[in-house]
Amino acid sequence: MNRKGILVVVSGFSGVGKGTLMKLLTERYGHYALSISATTREAREGEEDGREYFFKTREEFEQLIADDMLIEYAQYCGNYYGTPREYVEDQMEQGRDVILEIELQGALKVKRKFPETLLLFVMPPDAQTLIARLRKRGTETEEVIHRRLARAVEESEGIEEYDYMIVNDDLDQSVELMHSLIEAQHNKINRNLDFVGQIQREVRALVKGE
């Protein structure tokens, strides 16, 4: 059976461990494609252009918007972030499941455009863990951490729009849960109506003795 690729959105509070989770998921299972976003924010130490993000100036980013090169884009803490269209469409055509690690506004835009998208929200086991992880990362100033936490509160108010939550306590279990949820999505009846119809026809033919 030929599987069509699924579009998966993963959101979650800053510092919740989404990046690590996704890295492990794609290493463990070969058929996932992780979309690389464009952004106007500064590269963090250790980040490389074209690996974590495509780093753009505001002018470059606005040109991408004008040329309709992005599936969605949003502003987050003063910077633009957006999903390049071409990669996502190519990968899905090849039957790969494409993961977008994006924030709430973008997630809602994707859901509106592609209603079959699976929306996952990664939660911390508790609020203290979140702050501790953000501080430990050591890449942001206290002011930025504060802005990101405020944004986390805002984002948590849109959580009802998502399909499933993943409480990221044990990384290994979270990876397996994410994989299972995506697999389950492949098996939804309304995604498999052709196959279901074919079996129904075959069984009917058997009953009639054809």
- Which chain residues interact with ligand 5GP by CB under 6 A? 14, 37, 41, 72, 74, 76, 81-83, 101-103, 105-106
Q: Which two tokens stand for residue 55?
A: 């780093």
In whole angstroms, the minimum distance from the beta carbon of 61 to ligand 5GP comes to: 11
Closer CB to ligand 5GP, 97 or 101, in the complex: 101
Nearest-approach distance from CB 107 to ligand 5GP, in angstroms: 7
Pick 72 or 97: Cβ nearer ligand 5GP:
72
Any idea which residue has 């890449």 for tokens?
A: 139
In the complex, what is the shortest distance from the CB of residue 163 to ligand 5GP, in angstroms, rounded to a whole number? 17
Secondary structure of residue 188 in the 3-state scheme: coil
Q: How far is CA 209 from CA 58, 169, 198, 199, in A?
A: 68, 56, 17, 15
- Least gap, CB of 97 to ligand 5GP (angstroms): 17
**Which letter does DSSP use for residue 99 in this model?**
E
**Residue 32 in contact with residue 97, Cβ under 8 Å?**
yes
Q: How far apart are CA 132 and CA 35, in angstroms?
A: 28
Mention every residue, 6+ apart, whose C-beta is less than 8 A from residue 120.
Answer: 8, 9, 10, 11, 162, 163, 164, 165, 166, 178, 181
Cβ 101 to ligand 5GP shortest distance, Å? 5
DSSP state of 205: H
Paired strand residues for 98: 7, 33
Q: Indicate the residue among 81 and 97 with the shorter CB distance to ligand 5GP.
A: 81
The span from the CA of 7 to the CA of 121, in Å, is: 14
